[in-house]
Structure 1
């Protein structure tokens, strides 16, 4: 019976999302390659897990479970939900929210995702793990 309780406790602990030390918002896990590619001047720890701070109001970009915080301004690209327009929507193809807005509202040439992809190239790249702050 004890081993069942310990397994359940361990399973539940592994589901806990680490909180940003600056704002206490749960983070989204990112691979170390993403952090290293966007934070070239940062001392990243290869052995630590890193998380993207999901609060739009917090200046933290990434944080680790060992207490390291990387400021959003230390990244080579803006984190779209932490900045004002224009912001990247597709980091691989360098497509911004304003460009998509222009195609949808001003040019009226796009009615769906497929149209947006065809006109802007958004969401057609394959380097998200290295160019997008979320790694996705």
Structure 2
């Protein structure tokens, strides 16, 4: 995979910080690479994907739209292969899709006084170039921000 979890923030910001409003909830969304949609969309909807358009990820928990394009074509959470962390509050939904860190698993580590272990594990695997966020994470980018925010919320 490319350097989705890289610390080269200048390159990441220029690629992923383009914002657009979701056609459903009207909230700003983040640009996502086409490889993410190809990996995440169910086969039954993949043939409606226009790979020549710019696509965005809507992270609003109230909104059923996960992806949309510049022509306002939307893809709902029911058209995605995996549950989306930002849109599903189940304990078994991954926060880190590459290394299977769920809310439930992280909760257990925090209760056991090991709150730093999930982040250490993810960082070590990123350092070893093992992450594949573009194809494993519906948001198409690194999960560490989500994991950190979740741990702080406990």
TM class by smaller structure? 0.7 to 0.9
Corresponding residue SS for 1:81: helix
- TM-score normalised by length of structure 1: 0.77
CA RMSD of aligned residues (A): 1.9
Q: Does 1:35 align with 2:30?
A: no
User: Partners in 1 of 2:115 and 2:88 — Cα distance?
Assistant: 26
Count the aligned residue pairs: 116
- Render the CA deviation track for 1:91-135: whole Å, top value 9, x for unaligned: 011220110110111x33x142xx2256xx445341111010111
Give structure 1 regions of 4+ aligned residues with deviation exceeding 6 angstroms: none
In structure 1, runs of 5+ residues without a counterpart are: 1-14
- Structure 2's unaligned 5+ residue stretches are 1-16, 142-154
The structure with the largest alpha-carbon Rg is 1
Q: Map of 1:65-76 to 2, 5 A cutoff?
A: 65-76=70-81
State the SS of the aligned residue for 2:105.
helix
> Displacement of 1:48 after TM fit?
0.7
Structure 1 residue 59, shift from structure 2 partner: 0.4
1:126 to 131, 138, 150: 131
Deviations 1:58-100 (A, max 9, x none): 0001000111100111111111111112121110112201101
